[in-house]
Chain A
Amino acid sequence: MNGKKDTRAAVNSPECEPAENGRSAQAKAKTKRRVRTALMSAVIALSASAIAALSVALYYSETRNATQESYIRSMEAVYSRSYYDLLDSANDLDLRLAKLRAASTAEAQRDLLYGVWQTATSASASLAAFEGGTEGIMKANKFLGQVGDYARCLAEEMGDGEPLTAEEAETLGKMRDVAAAFKKALSDTRDAMMSGKVFTGENGLIDGFASSFDEFAEPSFEYPQMIYDGPFSDALEDRDCKALDGLDDIDKALGAELLADYIPEARDIAFYDRTEGDIVTLNYTFAVDGGSGFAQLSERGGLLVACNVDYAVAATEVGYPQHCAAALRFAANAGYDDMRVVWCSLSQGTVYVNLAPVEDGVVLYPDLVKVKVDEKRGAVTGLDAAHYVFNHTERALPAPTLTAGEAAAKVVLPTVSGAELCLIPLEETREVLAYEFECESGGTYYVYIDAMTGEEADILYVIDSEQGRVTA
């Protein structure tokens, strides 16, 4: 018992301090170890998490990079293919135009001309894969469009067996010089590709491709004036407005007065601005009950060229209204009288009514006036008379050399209407007097027989589509 008491005394006594310090140090060391272990564990856990997160990020990054690279390679392939196709077409075009110089018979020339059309069309499609917003590219594309279009028109006109005239051959010769410049424009890119450069990526060839055609913006070669019977003819640029010939200019105030006459329900007519397009127009805004409108009057003569009325509130349907009658009334009020309905088509809640003037029993299709009528409301919502303004003029129409019966005998499909004498526009630049026949054979056709030559001038087929009932 005493021994135990002594021991306790010894512990509490100053003599026992070293031992006590030793235990304390041990405890501290233990705590430190624990803290260190915890820290280490935390560090290892964090490191492991970081490694895991990094691995995941790396994986996704790699996947993303791989996808991105795959897209870039695909784009590179698209550009390269378009370029090589373009180069082939440019070479073929140059070659065919060169051969035309040597061809003397109509047959050989026609084959080559169709070849020129085909290669120019292919070249244009390939060129479209590259940026098109520069003047050089646009003019290069214009060359391809015109040379192909011109060649096709010439080839089609060679049906009579007559070879090219000297003038036509000269124009084609000049176009060959342009074709040579076109080929040359592609050579820098070809050289760069040969030295290993690619289209995509930093300093890729795509950046400088458009500038290869800068020479087309300010050419050193002679570009001939291209006037011919085709849709890309220069004759269609800066077109004359035949309906406005001899008419006086109007001012803003007179325009507003005329508009009030044309559209009696128009209120708050205000001048908006002037457009210097193919037809110079004075533009006005106006209000109608339940909506607003925008109208364009020709500055010369004050004809209603186009208008649109936007009704804010939809009307309730009141039954199928007489859209054609509404269109005729509106057009007559705007100065387009003696019109006949030549087509009606319903699409997206709007009935499009096409009107054409009739002179001496001939329907003048080139002078179309189109009127929009809201299907439910039955009110006119727009008019477009641009065709009329461009084309309407006093015409000296020849008397047909074919009778209606003779023309009918040339139609192979069963006709469901009598012959209607009409003037039809062809290739935007020509007008042909023709007999029109409506035919049915697994579909509706309009067949036009040239009233002077008896040839099939045009065939239209009626298509029901989302755009309504249209012809093509």
Chain B
Amino acid sequence: MQGNSIRRILAVSLLAVLMLTAVAAAFSASPTTAGVAEAATLQQGSSGSKVSEIQQRLKNWGYYSGSVDGIFGSGTKSAVVSFQRRNGLTADGIVGPATAAAIGVTLSSSSSTTTSSSSSVLKRGSSGSKVSEMQQKLKNWGYYGGSVDGVFGSGTESAVTLFQRNNGLTADGIVGSRTAAALGMTLSSASSGGNSTSSDLALLARVVYGEARGEPYTGQVAVAAVVLNRVESSSFPNTIAGVVYQSGAFDCVSDGQINLTPNDTAYQAAQDAMNGWDPTCGCLFYYNPATATSAWMLSRPVKLRIGDHNFC
């Protein structure tokens, strides 16, 4: 009997160890799978929002006439091949990093966690796909007459200098982050940790949507600007979340409308305010005169009226 029990315990223990090993193996395998998925290119058979984005861009530029359905079929492949031919890329119908960059999309959705791998500045002597991309852009806009060969020579340098001079940039023939931005391209995806600002934008957009979605656009920017003016004022908390969630500060927090999903206009208004637009020129309050009851608030001099809101 005792021998049987020991055997049973040993068997159960062995089974448990085997199961744990299997689970551990499954967990350790998952990052590899994710890594493969992130690095994948887009080709016939692929689907998703990135495919839609590419289809939309190719459609806007006249390469694609099918529906923007997020499915990479033969029609999309033909459009990609046409685009690649016209832009000096390998015409294989596969959207790899070079084609994606030329189209203006990024394949990886986790840009905030990627690290720098490519050259961070382009100048005479540089070469590669980024140089090709830049040459193509300069060629399309009439600055560059040479071949799109991916080699940064004297012709490319002259074109860059001319582009910089015409666009109010320092004309040194070197493509740093500012010239790259003006060219509509990024040289590296090195930066990380920017998500805190994104969450601020989303929160601000929620306030705009919850408080002022029926208001004129300028009124929506003004509401977002009031939130930011409070952040900068010593009389209020020093963060966007602190100001928004200060007890009793905004009706949309009290009635739950802050939890509605904001539309594009609300995002745009929040974005404008975060970039410095402030139609109120520094106001810290606003109210609807039809519904406001606070005597103190109503006694404040009104500086601006937009839609249903008085700003003060």
Contacts and interface: CB of A to CB of B under 8 A. Distances in A.
Given A138-B236, A348-B267, A416 B121 contact: yes
A132 B249 contact: yes
B279 interface: yes
A302 interface: no
Interface in B37-94: 57, 60-61
A220 interface: no
B246 A440 contact: no
Contact of A317 (B57, B181, B278, B304): B57
Contacts of A418: 172
Interface string A301-345: 000011010100000110110111100100000000001111111
Contacts of A129: 247
A320 B115 CA distance: 27
B303 A125 contact: no
A350 interface: yes
A349 B53 CA distance: 13
A384 interface: yes
Contact of B282 (A278, A316, A324): A278
Given A294-B218, A370-B275, A384-B276, A277 B304 contact: yes
B112 A464 contact: yes
A372 B168 contact: no
A207 to B, nearest CB: 12
B178 A342 contact: yes
A134 interface: yes
A339 B170 CA distance: 11
A310 B111 contact: no
B197 A470 contact: yes
Contacts of A448: none
Given A324-B169, A350-B271, A464-B189, A135 B194 contact: no
B169 A343 contact: no
A223 to B, nearest CB: 12
Contact of B303 (A275, A339, A465): A275
A147 to B, nearest CB: 10
A131 B116 CA distance: 46
B271 A132 contact: no
A443 B191 contact: yes
Interface residues of B, number: 77
A30 B197 CA distance: 85
Contacts of B169: 324, 340-341
Contacts of B195: 465
B168 A341 contact: yes
B201 interface: yes
A317 B61 contact: yes
A96 interface: no
Interface string B25-37: 0000000000000
A469 B174 contact: no
B272 interface: yes
Given A145-B238, A324-B168, A442 B282 contact: no
B252 interface: no
A296 interface: yes
A363 to B, nearest CB: 9
Contacts of A466: 197-198, 201-202
Interface string A332-375: 00000001111111111110100100000000000010101000
Contacts of A325: 166-168
A276 interface: yes
Contact of A141 (B190, B234, B272): B234
Nearest to A147: B234
Contacts of A352: 275
Interface string B261-289: 00010011001101111111111000000
B155 interface: no
Given A132-B236, A132-B246, A275-B303, A387 B294 contact: no
A341 B236 contact: no
Interface string A420-436: 10000000000000000
A384 B236 contact: no
Nearest to B274: A467
B191 A444 contact: yes
Given A135-B296, A145-B238, A308-B277, A341 B182 contact: yes
A125 to B, nearest CB: 7
B184 interface: yes
Nearest to A230: B234
Contacts of A443: 116, 190-192
A462 B268 CA distance: 21
B237 A128 contact: yes
Contacts of A182: none
A370 to B, nearest CB: 6
A133 B249 contact: yes
Contacts of B303: 275-277
Nearest to A217: B296
Given A128-B246, A464-B111, A467-B197, A277 B282 contact: yes
A328 B194 CA distance: 29
A464 B272 contact: no
B125 interface: no
B256 interface: no
A29 to B, nearest CB: 65
Contacts of A328: 167-168
B190 A275 contact: no
Given A135-B296, A146-B234, A294-B279, A275 B181 contact: no
Interface of B: 57, 60-61, 104, 111-112, 115-116, 120-121, 137, 140-141, 166-170, 172, 174, 176-178, 181-182, 184, 186, 188-195, 197-198, 201-202, 216-218, 221, 232-238, 242, 246-249, 264, 267-268, 271-272, 274-283, 294, 296-297, 301, 303-305
6 residue pairs, one from A and one from B, having the closest CB atoms: A277-B281, A145-B234, A465-B194, A463-B194, A317-B60, A232-B234
Given A121-B238, A317-B57, 12 more contacts: A294-B218, A296-B279, A310-B217, A324-B169, A344-B181, A348-B268, A368-B276, A386-B281, A416-B176, A438-B176, A444-B191, A466-B198
8 contacts: A128-B242, A131-B246, A308-B279, A341-B169, A386-B281, A442-B190, A466-B202, A467-B271
